[in-house]
Structure 1
Amino acid sequence: MRYLSIVLVLFALIATPTLAVEPDEMLSDPVLEARAREISKELRCVVCQNQDIDSSNAGVARDLRLLVRERLVAGDANDEVLAFIQARYGDYVLLKPPFKPSTYVLWFAPLFLIFLVFVLGWRVLAVSNRPRSSHALTREEEAYADQVIKNYQKGDRE
């Protein structure tokens, strides 16, 4: 029982999200730091796979975190910081990109891939369930098969 509780505690520690924000990045003002964390959770690390910059250890994510804090110290509102970074890095940097023609691929690609997998799966199942065509033997093939069977049966008796 003791080992089970140790394993559960270890799994709980592993499962908790880790933040990559370094102490030297943090702002001394707790209100500004809280705003920076809030903004960071809305920004995607452009290097990592769908990870916000607050939990990414990539150098680009660190640069973005510093840029967010720099803009907040300069007096920008949260929306202004997001707009500044979006103008600099494009819509892809937002974890929730706006719905507009230039971002349709970001919005519809997952749906298209799901549809494609469904169609391919249906096609594979349709082909695998199709009855196989049986070809009847010609008279010569039947005679040859009978002869082989007879020879085999004679060999078994002897």
Structure 2
Amino acid sequence: MKKLFVLMTLMLSFSAAAVIDVYDFETEEQEVLFRTLTAELRCPKCQNNNLADSNASIAKDMRQKTYNMVIEGQNEDQIVTYWIDRFGNFVLYKPPVTLGTAILWVGPGLFVLFGGLIIVRNSRRKVSVENDDELTGAEKDRLAKILKDSEK
């Protein structure tokens, strides 16, 4: 039992010693820019994590590329444009408002609104029915024949 406990402790300690990315920056502004970008850019694999929080291999590659671009002296707009060109606006947690995103937000509301208007309009329409309950002579004869045939 004691050996199992020691073995499990060692296994857990190895996972705790996982590799942590360490980046050296020339200025504090570069570090702030890197931290800001990795917090604002979404991991394309995880979809709900930013680059800073994701352990996916693509997120690691994106962090490294972002780091290289920051060290090269590129500004925030250039780096964000680089990632948008590769992954689209999906890579941003706060995508810009475009016609496509406006339709996604407004479309369902308009659909419900127009559906409600159609229901209200149809429910208020007066339906005039004249003597729908009475059968004609031919219909009565046909019904009697059907009932008579079903009794056989």
Q: TM-score, normalised by structure 2?
A: 0.52
Kindly indicate whether residue 88 of structure 2 is the aligned counterpart of residue 98 of structure 1: no
Q: Answer whether contact 1:50 1:95 (CA < 8 A) is retained.
A: no
Q: Answer whether contact 2:40 2:92 (CA < 8 A) is retained.
A: yes
Corresponding residue number in structure 2 for 1:42: 40
Q: Residue 75 of structure 1 aligns to which amino acid in structure 2?
A: G
Taking the aligned partners of 1:99 and 1:35, their CA distance within structure 2 comes to: 24
Total equivalences in the alignment: 94
> Taking structure 1 as reference, are residues 21 and 79 closer, same or farther at Cα in structure 2, changes over 3 Å only?
farther
Kindly indicate whether residue 28 of structure 2 is the aligned counterpart of residue 27 of structure 1: no
Taking the aligned partners of 1:88 and 1:45, their CA distance within structure 2 comes to: 12
Taking the aligned partners of 2:35 and 2:99, their CA distance within structure 1 comes to: 30
**Structure 1 stretches of at least 4 aligned residues deviating more than 4 Å after TM superposition:** none
Corresponding residue number in structure 2 for 1:55: 53
Taking the aligned partners of 1:31 and 1:98, their CA distance within structure 2 comes to: 25
Taking the aligned partners of 2:82 and 2:73, their CA distance within structure 1 comes to: 13
Taking the aligned partners of 2:41 and 2:21, their CA distance within structure 1 comes to: 20
> Taking structure 1 as reference, are residues 21 and 93 closer, same or farther at Cα in structure 2, changes over 3 Å only?
farther
Q: Residue 70 of structure 1 aligns to which amino acid in structure 2?
A: N
> Taking structure 1 as reference, are residues 73 and 28 closer, same or farther at Cα in structure 2, changes over 3 Å only?
closer
What is the RMSD of the two structures over their aligned residues, measured on CA atoms?
3.0
Q: Percent identity?
A: 30
Taking the aligned partners of 1:45 and 1:104, their CA distance within structure 2 comes to: 23
- Of 73, 76, 80, the match for 1:82: 80
> Taking structure 1 as reference, are residues 87 and 49 closer, same or farther at Cα in structure 2, changes over 3 Å only?
closer
Taking the aligned partners of 1:85 and 1:46, their CA distance within structure 2 comes to: 11
Taking the aligned partners of 2:108 and 2:31, their CA distance within structure 1 comes to: 39
Taking the aligned partners of 2:37 and 2:44, their CA distance within structure 1 comes to: 15
In the alignment, structure 2 segments of 5+ residues that lack a partner are 1-17, 113-152
> Taking structure 1 as reference, are residues 99 and 28 closer, same or farther at Cα in structure 2, changes over 3 Å only?
same
Taking the aligned partners of 1:47 and 1:75, their CA distance within structure 2 comes to: 27
Q: Residue 105 of structure 2 aligns to which amino acid in structure 1?
A: F
In the alignment, structure 1 segments of 5+ residues that lack a partner are 1-19, 117-158
Taking the aligned partners of 1:74 and 1:65, their CA distance within structure 2 comes to: 14
Q: TM-score, normalised by structure 1?
A: 0.50
For the pair shown, the structure with the greater C-alpha radius of gyration is 2
